[in-house]
Amino acid sequence: MRTLVDLHNHLLPGIDDGAPDLATAISLAQLAVEDGITHMVCTPHIHPGRYDNTQATIATALSQFKQGLTERGINLKVSAAAEVRFGMELMEWAVTGQLPFVGEYQGKNVLLLEFPHGEIPFGAEKLIKWLISKEITPMIAHPERNKGIMAKPSKLKPFLQLGCLTQVTAQSITGGFGSACQEIAHKFLAEEKITIIASDAHNIQHRPPKIADAFGVIETLTNKQQADQIAANAAEIANIHFSQAA
């Protein structure tokens, strides 16, 4: 049985547009466990002016969440990083060590990077080259939901050529974000452009922490080996978070 690791979700309570409080975070954690997820790296937004999270605010929310899970005996291993909005601030944060990483891949730190939904921002390739020169590998969050990429999927290619990883959202694969988004997700799957899938969970009703169904679709559309590989990539990237845990 494959290990299900969720590397992009907004379960940490009260610090972004995900779980508003601990009770909701716990309910979401229970759903994740029911889905078969065993490990989660929680990734609240860092988006200057909108969600001004820092390593400190994230660490506080994580410890509250961990304590809640322990008190209720919920068997879910959790850690935290962030989904970091594209912007020039990234350079300063990289230099000063303020960037939270979702993990490591091939010896490099992995940054979950969010573009604006409507486009690929001007200067994206330049900033990504700079990050890579600093031994940071960007993992592009849900490219299949980016309107610029949806209009022209080949816009993803330069980023892959630079060495970026990709995180496709599970609900895109199962059709929860509509057929256009699903088509692009399936196209990227067929072209083997998906590094990992993740839930990007925000809430119970519309965006729950579920990834098992998407793995079922992947297996049907491709084969078991490819589904296993995508699951293994997430486990490998997240390993640094859990191998050091007490």
Minimum distance of Fe ion from residue 70's CB (angstroms): 25
Task: Pick one of 83, 85, 113, 128: the residue that binds Fe ion (CB under 5 A).
Answer: 83
Residue placing its CB nearer to Fe ion in the complex, 54 or 203: 203
The answer to whether 67 and 90 are in contact (CB under 8 A) is: no
Task: For residue 113, give the H/E element and its range.
Answer: strand 108-114
Both tokens of 74, joined, read 């919920």
Q: Least separation, in Å, of the C-beta of 140 and Fe ion?
A: 12
> Considering only CA atoms, which of 199, 208, 151, 153 is closest in space to residue 173?
199
CB closer to Fe ion out of 35 and 200: 200
At what angle are helices 22-35 and 55-71 packed, to 10 degrees?
70
Report d(CA 41, CA 172) in Å as an integer: 20
Three-state DSSP state, 235: helix
Question: Shortest approach of Fe ion to residue 19 CB, angstroms?
Answer: 13
| Contact region with Fe ion (CB under 5 A), list: 62-70, 82-90, 185-193, 233-241 | 82-90
> Are the CB atoms for 8 and 238 separated by under 8 Å?
no
Residue listed under structure tokens 């452009």: 193
Interface stretch with Fe ion, choices 75-83, 105-113, 172-180, 238-246 (CB under 5 A): 75-83
Report if residue 200 touches Fe ion, rule: CB under 5 A: yes
Per the CB < 8 A criterion, the answer to whether 123 and 131 are in contact is no
Taking the least distance from each CB to Fe ion, the nearer of 112 and 184 is: 112
Tally the residues of the chain. Answer: 246
Instruction: Please state the closest distance from residue 8 (CB atom) to Fe ion, in A.
Output: 6
How near is the Cβ of 83 to Fe ion at its closest, in Å? 5
Count of residues interacting with Fe ion (CB under 5 A): 2
Nearest CA to 103 among 217, 228, 237?
237
Q: Which is nearer to Fe ion, 83 or 144 (CB)?
A: 83
The region of 68-76, 78-86, 105-113, 204-212 touching Fe ion under the rule CB under 5 A is 78-86
Q: Which of residues 140-159 bind Fe ion (CB under 5 A)?
A: none
Q: Which residues are near Fe ion by CB under 5 A?
A: 83, 200
